Amino acid sequence: MQVIRSIAELRNWRKDAGTVAFVPTMGNLHAGHLALVAEAHRHAQKVVVSIFVNRLQFGQGEDFDAYPRTFDADCAKLEAAGVDVLFFPTEAELYPRVRQAYNVEPPNLQNELCGAFRPGHFRGVATVVTKLFNIVEPDFACFGKKDYQQLAVIRGMVEDLNSPVVVVPVDTGRADDGLALSSRNGYLSDAERAEAPRLYRNLSLIREALAGGDSDYAALEARAKDDLTAHGWRVDYVEVRHAHSLEVAHAGEKHLVVLAAARLGRTRLIDNIEVDR
C-alpha cells in the first residue's frame, strides 16, 4: 500500500490508475470501514482510502481534539484489506489558507435531524468531500448508511453539482447485539456498552409496527423516546422520514426510514432502519 500525503503526488498517481473507488474516512477504522473497502474493490481497479479528521464538521465543544487517531493500526488494517493508496494529508495540505473562504452549502436538510443539534456539520462534510472528490477524481465513492443524513446530502450534492462520481451506499455494519459500528463506540463505558443496543431495539420495534401497517408516526416516535429516556438516555430525535428525500413522512408512504440520535453518557450515538411496506 502506498501512503500519499500531498495533493500533487496523488494527482500524479491518479493519471495512470485506471478506475478508482474511494472511501473517505476520519480514521480509527473498524469492521464497518473495512466493509466499505470490500465494496470498493467490487467496483474499480484501484481503491483509495483517505484519513483526515476534518475540523470543519466539528462544532464548538465537540470532540475534534479527542477524536481517536490510530494511524499505525489503521495502516495495518488497510494494507491487509488490499487498499492501493492511503491518502493522509495534513490540515495545512488540505486547507492551505487555514480558514476556508469558499464552502459547499447544502440545502435546508442540513439544519434538520442531526443538523439541528450540530450546526454547520453538513457544510463541513459537503466541503471536505467536494475537495477530496476534486483531488482523488474517483469513479465510485462508498459511504455507509449508518450516516444516513450524510449519505443523502452527498447524493444530492453529486447530482446538483454534476460530479462524475457514482455514490455507492453500503449497509450499516453491526455488532452481534445490533449496535451500529462506530468509532465513537470506544467512548462507552462497559455499562453503557451493555445498554447501547437499546437504540437499535427501539428502531426495530418501530420498523415492525410500520411493516404491520401502523401509520401513527408520532406515537411510535414518542414511545421510543420515552423508553430511551427512562433508561438514562438524552434523546435528540427519533423520527420517521421518507427514505429517499428525508422529508417528513406522511401516512401511506411505502419507502420510509426511521432515524434516531441520542446521548448515552458523553457519547452521542446515531442509527437508522429502512422500511419498505
Domain boundaries of the chain, sorted by first residue: 2-170, 183-272
Active site members: 33
Among residues 69, 66, 87, the alpha carbon closest in space to that of 20 is found at 87
Q: What is the pLDDT of residue 117?
A: 96
Q: Check residue 252 and give its pLDDT.
A: 81
Residue 50 among known ligand-binding residues: no
Grid cell at residue 276: 419498505
* Nearest alpha-carbon partner for 262 in 204, 171, 195, 208: 195
Residue 18 is labelled as binding a ligand: no
Confidence (pLDDT) at 98: 77
Residues of the chain below pLDDT 50:
none
- Does 32 carry a binding-site annotation? yes
The answer to the question of whether 149 is labelled as a binding residue is: no
Q: Is 27 annotated as a binding residue?
A: yes
pTM of the entire predicted model:
0.95
222 is in an annotated binding site: no
Residues 6+ away with beta carbon under 8 Å from 122: 57, 106, 109, 110, 114, 115, 149, 150, 153
What is the reported pLDDT for 97? 86
**Of 103, 97, 96, 149, which is closest to residue 126 (Cα–Cα)?**
103
Q: What is the CATH number of domain 183-272?
A: 3.30.1300.10
Rounded CA separation 85/15 (Å): 14
pLDDT at 99: 83
Helix, strand or coil, per DSSP, at residue 166 = strand
pLDDT in tens, 200-253: 999 999 999 999 999 999 999 999 999 999 999 999 999 999 999 999 998 888
pLDDT of residue 175: 97
Is 193 one of the annotated binding-site residues?
A: no
Question: At a CB cut-off of 8 Å and minimum separation 6, what does 118 contact?
Answer: 59, 62
**The domain defined by 2-170 carries CATH number 3.40.50.620:** yes
- What pLDDT sits at residue 253? 86
